[in-house]
């Protein structure tokens, strides 16, 4: 799970390593979110995450 702010950095690092990681993108930023907002982000991300790891 990575915030959208880091899409370019993740692409660059993936290219440099020759590795395509499974990434679920979430809205940026994370640090100033309330516990409820973080829970909502996690709830939105869980199905895509589970789909990636159970393929």
Q: What is the pLDDT of residue 40?
A: 95
Percent with pLDDT over 70 in the chain: 100
The 8-class DSSP code of residue 31 comes to: T
Report the run of H or E that residue 2 belongs to, with start and end: strand 2-3
User: How far apart (Å, rounded) are the C-alpha atoms in residues 36 and 41?
Assistant: 9
pTM (whole model) above 0.85: no
């Amino acid at each position: 799970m990575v915030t959208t702010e880091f899409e370019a950095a993740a692409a660059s690092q993936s290219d440099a390593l020759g590795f395509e990681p499974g990434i679920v993108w979430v809205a940026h930023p994370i640090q100033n979110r309330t516990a409820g907002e973080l829970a909502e982000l996690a709830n939105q991300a869980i199905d895509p995450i589970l789909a990636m790891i159970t393929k």
